[in-house]
Chain A
């Protein structure tokens, strides 16, 4: 599926061709060409750094419009737990869930429930002891894409489990079908904190076919929900929440690790930090750790760019829900145990986006050219040429994507 439709797009009128997004892109996927930021989508992992950094709001994260839900007769909202971190003084998560029904959904199914089941399955797999340690969580799709592109040797460490949202979406649909709703009438909609999950859920990453009929944005729903919530406040609420705090805490960094019930875990968030952890894993210096939880966004999913609230505030609110929810509310049932849909149907495969050439001799020649071009550059990493660094520029020249003359600072040497 076309990635450009599902990660970020550009508002060309707003883009000034400054280099803010290009400098921050963790996979060096952005170049400035003819005064506009251009994304090489084969390298885009959907992390949202460019959306976060753009001073002109020219980067638009992709998601489906809310109105899409009305294409279906029976609509189920499947909200990510970070949604609960967006509201001030939230005494009862049921207020948010009831408000979703008011907006036009017929049922709700919390992603946190899927998270609790994935936590249990993770513990089962760890107990079996067949996994390569350190085990890497598969929950963050941006991290998964990063490993597929850049850390091929670590792919075998990634746990074979689908995202909690996929589990929740499938269980939500199954529930409606059991209640007698005709399958073609059912629309299950994930409410996402980030563009990486929009892409992963819409394309069905790891699955034979996507589990979601659409993926909405927390930010778009936020204001709609606020209005409804204020008038629901003093009315009796339906008990719709069926999750414990364990699943909800997946919203913030370290939350998933709490679910493995062991101490030898590492939880890192933010692209720079996770790159450092992955590099250290490659070097073999983290072999004493059992479980590695990595989230592309600062503070974890609450830091996703489709949220409205500051991630640190959202994190405090998520923690505050601890007193209002049971510790754990979802357990794998006998029916669940043989289910394949907790596991990947098509496991992630390495992507050769950085490889210079499939012929080693040609790759070697290009590499030598890169080295010699790089030596002649000023090493200012100024970005004026439209590449994020002098090294990236040398690569672009060797790959034939730009010309040497684009470097205007060679006199600085």
Chain B
């Protein structure tokens, strides 16, 4: 059985449509009958990732592969990149501009939450070129 492959464009600077890709993925997982607890983990991690792309990178692409035992989410952007990944991973650390914070985003919990709700997370980033975040959630049965 091959994986189910889904691709989404994430529009930049658009908070209204932010979350639409994670929404589609949630819907798909529910139709597949994936346990609600895993759907929730995927929802939280992917939503945070999408919001990050909107805030920091002017959007990007979400590539999702669903296997019987896991989901692999790759979020790829061509934004400014992350100079210090270790620092960016710290709870509460944020580089979001005030305008974004005024909207209630940018609390510095995005990346930590993505790590917390996934079974593995890998960040590859080059300053000036962009960031690719790969997250895996296992569906333990």
Q: Assuming A282-B43, A283-B47, is B36 touching A364 (CB within 8 A)? A: no
Which of B22, B32, B39, B113 contacts A364 (CB under 8 A)?
B32
Taking the complex as formed, is B26 at the interface, i.e. its CB lies under 8 A from any CB of chain A?
yes
B33-A153 in contact (CB<8A): no
Question: A67 CB to closest chain B CB, in angstroms?
Answer: 44
Q: Assuming A279-B23, A360-B68, A368-B4, is B47 touching A284 (CB within 8 A)? A: yes
Task: Report the separation of the CA atoms of residues A79 and B49 in the bound assembly, to the nearest whole angstrom.
Answer: 48
* Interfacial chain B residues near A283, Cβ < 8 Å: 19, 22, 43-44, 47
Contact with A along B62-75 (1 / 0, CB 8 A): 00001010000000
Nearest residue, chain B, Cβ from A398: B31
Nearest residue, chain A, Cβ from B24: A391
B1-A355 in contact (CB<8A): no
Which of B30, B33, B43 contacts A358 (CB under 8 A)?
B33
Contact with A along B33-66 (1 / 0, CB 8 A): 1001101100110011000000000000000001
Task: Report the separation of the CA atoms of residues A282 and B45 in the bound assembly, to the nearest whole angstrom.
Answer: 11
Contact with B along A22-61 (1 / 0, CB 8 A): 0000000000000000000000000000000000000000
Taking the complex as formed, is A367 at the interface, i.e. its CB lies under 8 A from any CB of chain B?
yes
* Interfacial chain A residues near B39, Cβ < 8 Å: 152-153, 282
Taking the complex as formed, is A380 at the interface, i.e. its CB lies under 8 A from any CB of chain B?
no
B26-A354 in contact (CB<8A): no
Question: A205 CB to closest chain B CB, in angstroms?
Answer: 21
Chain B at the A interface: mostly helix, strand, loop or mixed? helix
* Interfacial chain A residues near B28, Cβ < 8 Å: 367
* Interfacial chain A residues near B22, Cβ < 8 Å: 283
Contact with B along A343-366 (1 / 0, CB 8 A): 000000010101111101101110
* Interfacial chain B residues near A174, Cβ < 8 Å: none
A365-B1 in contact (CB<8A): yes
B33-A350 in contact (CB<8A): no
Taking the complex as formed, is A285 at the interface, i.e. its CB lies under 8 A from any CB of chain B?
yes
B33-A282 in contact (CB<8A): no
B33-A355 in contact (CB<8A): yes
Question: A377 CB to closest chain B CB, in angstroms?
Answer: 16
A355-B43 in contact (CB<8A): no
Taking the complex as formed, is A371 at the interface, i.e. its CB lies under 8 A from any CB of chain B?
yes
Top 7 A-B pairs, shortest CB-CB distance: A283-B47, A153-B36, A152-B36, A284-B44, A153-B40, A355-B33, A282-B43
17 contacts between A and B (CB under 8 A): A152-B39, A153-B36, A153-B40, A280-B19, A283-B22, A283-B44, A284-B47, A284-B48, A354-B30, A355-B30, A355-B33, A356-B32, A364-B1, A364-B32, A364-B68, A365-B1, A367-B31
- List the interface of chain B (C-beta within 8 A of A): 1-2, 4, 6, 19, 22-23, 26, 28, 30-33, 36-37, 39-40, 43-44, 47-48, 66, 68, 113
Please name 17 further chain A to chain B contacts, defined as beta carbons within 8 Å, in addition to the given A280-B19, A282-B39, A282-B40, sorted by A numbering.
Answer: A282-B43, A283-B43, A284-B44, A350-B36, A354-B30, A355-B32, A355-B33, A356-B31, A356-B33, A360-B33, A361-B1, A361-B68, A363-B31, A364-B1, A364-B32, A367-B28, A395-B31
